Structure 1
């Protein structure tokens, strides 16, 4: 599958990369993959019915939204409009649509960004040729997991964009870790991500819990990201999910009778550098800021407050945040309230430079309501990385140790300090004594390897070195005097 993904990305760059950046052309490529994949599955009798953790992908495809129809119209001067219509009809038939915020409005194939009329037509024809030749089946003739291919492409485009990526993309290892922290509960859970981005985290956690046993909910403020998530959800078998466009802080749409809808599980990676309208928090209609009002310049705690208000009485939340959330003085009163209300279960500090698009240091916070213990697990994973060309990756060994330690803590086992994954279980009193600072260094002893030193042998070595230095100085003085004599003769 990865070979197919790199082939698509490479060819797309040849067709569109001359005039467009990867941030500009990736949406068009993913939209055409969406159309091609839906058509292929609709024509086949193939599905993932045997495995409850894989999607039962059966999208309804009208004639005008089929890829074959578009390819027959390859010479039409209105090809861009036809692709827009195909996206519109495919979305209308397979998901809940918000009028005015359809996928084809966010990803517009008639846009001048693709060039003037003739140039745009030429590029679209080349793209359709690319996808027409594309085989979406394995060697046995079985259709591949298109949802996985879609997300693979997202990461390839992120690698291509590097630091210029328009939206921070979470590395797969972190998403996998978050999904594993949720656990295996498949009892018809409701799962929400109120800041969904491209939908990768929501999809992966949904698949981890079980596609057919979970109801998915989400919201996203960025229109293009919203469109990408809609396609991501449909291609991964979550076409019945509830997903809205809009800002969760200023205009939450996941509500029930004027109150925030509550969920069993909330996972999220809020924007790392957002500001928000803090002045409106005092009169918040949903009572989200009972633990304190975050500063205007720090939206992360506003999102966390929203997430906690969205949890059911026994709900669990896993949130990836900038490391500053753990210690900034401006938010200490909120951390105080979180600890005193016994909501913080685990803190995991991650290595820096993990994320595509930013080198910021990050952490994972696990919250849980109605906890049976008042203790909090702190784990330091900052050194648990491997490096490739300056990009860090959370190592498989570290992920395994983090999960084993977390599962041990949840089951009541003793937590042992390991050199590569230091951990500590802190009481509420210890957190209070640290003035509600959540940095792991405040709790976790850093293991420093100590080597026994032979003092007598070391002193003898120092003495020999000092004698050697004395000899070198004498030689240097002799050479200097000789040089002076030779200079005076001249």
Structure 2
């Protein structure tokens, strides 16, 4: 099943490039392709007698499909001069029937099939007809005739398009290994927990954590400022069985919409990968109505700590958060006062420094921070995973061995076990006093000893080798001088 899905994904990506890639970039055309996959797969599931369920944690997928949102209906209208409008209507009706549509931010407002970006009227119609014809013929079943996991196919396509675009700098483009590690760090869902990502990107993290932890759609919440990413998330959530989740369009820092009685809504779990390079407006932070910046106001040029402050304020009294951040968050002087307060309020549970270059197209160092409220210990676990990668043609990937060791070390820490220094995954449990002594610098190198293998040097033998090399050099210089003199004599004779 897995290999069938990979083949289908690359087949779709290849045809998309063939049809749209001549005049549009991957970042421009991927949304249209994913939207048509959304319509096609919803229709296939609706016509099928069986709802897809990949495992016990994943909800049944059963989308309601009206006549005008049916892919078969659109294909019958292939000759219509208003084909783009008909596709927009199909997206609108499918979203209205299957998700909580709040404030009217429909998918078709972000992905408009009447847009001139697809060309003038004739060119746009030609491209849309070719795309619809391709998807009409596309089979979404395996060799046994069973429908494949479209939610997984959708996310696989996101990564394929990201690789073609050459950029992986936000949630949707975050390496699968990192997203999987975040999900595993959160662990099992033993209670009826709620999950939030206030900077959702295309929803990949929400989907993967939701499936891994076993959280139902009604307990999943998110917000995203970018319209196109918002639309991708809405489709992603529905295709993965989370159609009754609550998801808003808007900026979580300047206009948080996940609120409750005038304050921020609180969650059991927050998992997030905020944008690495955002700036933010600090002007109103001092008088923030939600009290998000009690640990300090981050500088204007560094929005990551602003997002972390929002996340911490969104946790329930016993809530926990896992956040992927650029490594500068660990040590920048401009944010040291915030780190000071985080430690003194005993919120930091673990720090994992990751290898460089995991985010394709950006040679950036990153880390994972684990926060927990109502902690039973004041110690913090530091893990150094910077050397835990494998490389293939310049593409770096967090190794499976490192992921396993990180998870084992973290689980051992939670259960009170001793943490041992391992060459491949050095780790250390630091007290608050040790963090204070390091001036609230969270770099793992400040806590984790790197064992350097020292080789004994034979001084006498080394001196003898040096003496021989010096004599050899003296001989070479003499020969060079002789040759030079001979060359001069020959030149003078001429």
Match of 2:182 in 1: 178
In 2 relative to 1, CA 245–357 (structure 1 residues): closer, same or farther, beyond 3 Å? farther
- Partner Cα distance (1:359, 1:8) in 2: 30
- Partner Cα distance (2:33, 2:109) in 1: 15
8 Å contact 2:169–2:276 — kept in the other structure?
Answer: no
Deviations for 1:101-123, whole angstroms, at most 9, x for unmatched residues? 10011100111111111111110
The equivalent position to 1:206 in structure 2, one of 210, 216, 219, is 210
Q: What RMSD, in angstroms, separates the aligned Cα atoms of the two structures?
A: 1.7
In 2 relative to 1, CA 331–166 (structure 1 residues): closer, same or farther, beyond 3 Å? closer
Q: Which segment drifts farther, 302-311 or 423-432?
A: 423-432
Compute the displacement of 1:241 (Å): 0.5
Compute the displacement of 1:423 (Å): 1.5
- Partner Cα distance (1:471, 1:414) in 2: 61
8 Å contact 1:192–1:263 — kept in the other structure?
Answer: yes
In 2 relative to 1, CA 270–49 (structure 1 residues): closer, same or farther, beyond 3 Å? closer
Please tell me whether residue 156 in structure 1 is matched to residue 160 in structure 2. Answer: yes
The equivalent position to 1:256 in structure 2, one of 253, 260, 268, is 260
Deviations for 1:428-479, whole angstroms, at most 9, x for unmatched residues? 1111111111111211122323223333333332232223223222222322
TM-score, normalised to structure 1, is 0.97
Deviations for 1:205-259, whole angstroms, at most 9, x for unmatched residues? 0000115487100001111100000000000000010111111111111111111
Question: Gaps (5+ residues) in structure 1?
Answer: none
Compute the displacement of 1:372 (Å): 1.2
8 Å contact 1:91–1:103 — kept in the other structure?
Answer: yes
Compute the displacement of 1:424 (Å): 1.4
Q: Secondary structure at the match of 2:194?
A: strand
8 Å contact 2:218–2:244 — kept in the other structure?
Answer: no
Please tell me whether residue 469 in structure 1 is matched to residue 467 in structure 2. Answer: no
Compute the displacement of 1:403 (Å): 1.3
- Partner Cα distance (1:174, 1:104) in 2: 31
- Partner Cα distance (2:439, 2:471) in 1: 54
Compute the displacement of 1:271 (Å): 1.0
8 Å contact 1:23–1:165 — kept in the other structure?
Answer: no
The equivalent position to 2:450 in structure 1, one of 437, 446, 457, is 446
TM-score, normalised to structure 2, is 0.96
Q: State the aligned residue count.
A: 490
8 Å contact 1:348–1:364 — kept in the other structure?
Answer: yes
Q: Which segment drifts farther, 356-365 or 236-245?
A: 356-365
8 Å contact 2:218–2:242 — kept in the other structure?
Answer: no
Question: Gaps (5+ residues) in structure 2?
Answer: none
8 Å contact 1:167–1:357 — kept in the other structure?
Answer: no
- Partner Cα distance (1:435, 1:322) in 2: 19
Match of 2:226 in 1: 222
8 Å contact 2:172–2:204 — kept in the other structure?
Answer: no
